[in-house]
Amino acid sequence: MNYWLMKSEPEECSVDDVLAMPNATVPWFGVRNYLARNFMRDQMRLQDGVLFYHSSCALPGVVGLAEVASTPYPDATQFDAGSKYFDPKASLEAPRWQLVDVRVTRKTRTLSLAELRAHADLTEMILLRRGNRLSITPITPPEWNTILGLLAESST
């Protein structure tokens, strides 16, 4: 099993939005970074663990637990000329952008970026590296377990 942190701007798609969707599942559309695309296309597997992270908001942080709910498939927004994610170089025969579906399994309290930075076991986490702007990053099993522990501590 792999583990991932996937960022979403709550103005575009919040954890609450996903929970209101059928099966609490959303296609993770609009990724336009090749490395993030490659993570979805080449490394994500069904039921991989996902930390649902709100970014570009007043309190960025982990807001839910989720799982990968599909195998990769072409992101339809690349073909839609009316979409801000349109890619004129993409074609149905040769799509450039892939996505996976993500199912939220549980909303959590917000585990803030500041809290993540303050925890010694997370100092190597890609999210916390200076200059990191990737919307999807791998999480190591120890990082995943540390974050689950932090969330469990706060729920008791």
Which domain CATH number covers 98? Answer: 3.10.590.10
Structure tokens at 90: 């993409």
Name the more confident of 153 and 50: 50
- Is residue 84 in a domain? yes
The model carries a pTM of 0.94
Residue matched to tokens 């490394």? 43
Closest listed residue to residue 71, CA positions, set 50, 90, 52, 43: 43
pLDDT at site 155: 59
Q: Using pLDDT thresholds of 50, 70 and 90, give the confidence band for residue 154.
A: low
Structure tokens at 3: 């583990």
- Is residue 156 in a domain? no
- Is residue 152 in a domain? no
Residue 9 vs residues 72, 74, 118, 121, 140: alpha-carbon distances, Å: 21, 21, 23, 26, 23
Q: Could you tell me the sign of the dihedral formed by the alpha carbons of 150, 152, 155, 156, in that order?
A: negative
- Is residue 54 in a domain? yes
pLDDT for 66-97, tens place per residue?
A: 999 999 999 999 999 999 999 999 999 999 99
- Is residue 154 in a domain? no
- Is residue 155 in a domain? no
Q: Could you tell me the sign of the dihedral formed by the alpha carbons of 65, 70, 75, 77, in that order?
A: negative
Structural domain harbouring 37: 3-147
Closest listed residue to residue 61, CA positions, set 140, 141, 122: 122
The answer, yes or no, to whether residue 16 has pLDDT greater than 70, is: yes
> Across residues 59-65, what is the average pLDDT?
97
